[in-house]
Amino acid sequence: MKTAFHNREQGLSLVELMVALSIGLLLTVSVSTILSGSLQIFRLQGESARIQESSRFLMDILGRQITQAGYAAISTDYSDSKLSFTGTPISGEHGVVATRTGERKNGSDYLAVSFDANVDCQGNAAASGTVRNEFFLNANEELVCASGGGTAEVLADGVETFQVLYGVDADGDYSVERYAAQPGDWNQVRTVRVCTVVRAFSQGTSPAAQQYQDCSGTTQTAPDTRLRRVLAATFQLRNRGI
């Protein structure tokens, strides 16, 4: 006689189910943590690259403009009486807003550079052969350029600070004795020192409120968790000598 065996279907016990759920939860948390960390690194690298690119672009543009201040296009035609630049090579405002009052960010410096050229800072043709390019921060914290009193065009955004200092040669020996925010005589200016603070767009790009030295050398604590970078450079007015 054959004995019939019946296999009973067996399910998971409560303990086994809880272990499986715990392992699954642990894997989910681990993958989420790794993904979140990767996204944060990606965002931080992207913001850092943008800040660096904007800073270099600004300094390159400003440097090119400032070093050309006072350039005179002397003609090879001997009948042309022009021997030097006739405008005001460099000028600016610090602590006052007398120019572009409805556009400038409160406290932003203002820089105007003039020289002989065929195009202005926006790439537009200069009808008179001379340009007067203006640089300042607008209310949206964008560094802009305007020419000849025209409409401003954005050069870079996310710029919190734009500060300009001028190297003054008071005794005429072509050596800078001091830097001033507002020179008494613009004809004594030999160099221009520009400082900018550029910030990230996104919150959380800095693990905590960043501490940094501003353009005045004062330690500041950022009001948020955006990454910031301070960049400064000094440019010589080549057409005045030093």
Span 4-56, pLDDT tens digits: 555 555 666 777 777 777 887 887 877 777 766 666 565 666 677 788 888 88
Residue 216 placed within a domain: yes
Residue 5 lies in a domain: no
pTM across the whole model: 0.79
**What pLDDT sits at residue 15?**
73
Q: How far is CA 47 from the centre of its chain?
A: 12
Domain for residue 225, yes or no? yes
Q: For residue 15, tell me if it sits in a domain.
A: no
In 3D, which of 186, 194, 234, 232 has the Cα closest to residue 90?
186
β-pair partners for 193: 165, 234
219 exposure class (CB count in 10 Å sphere: 0-12, 13-18, 19+): exposed
Q: What is the mean pLDDT of residues 50-75?
A: 89
Question: Among 62-76, 96-110, 199-213, 222-236, where is mean pLDDT lowest?
Answer: 199-213
Domain that holds residue 190: 38-69+85-236
8 Å CB contact between 55 and 227: no
Residue 3 covered by a domain: no
Specify if 140 maps to a domain: yes
Q: Using one digit for the tens of pLDDT, what is the confidence trace for 97-128?
A: 888 988 999 888 999 999 999 999 999 998 78
Question: Which of 83-87, 140-144, 195-199 bottoms out in mean pLDDT, i.e. has the lowest?
Answer: 83-87
Question: Number of structural domains, the chain?
Answer: 1
Considering the domain boundaries, does residue 22 fall inside one? Answer: no
143 lies in some domain: yes
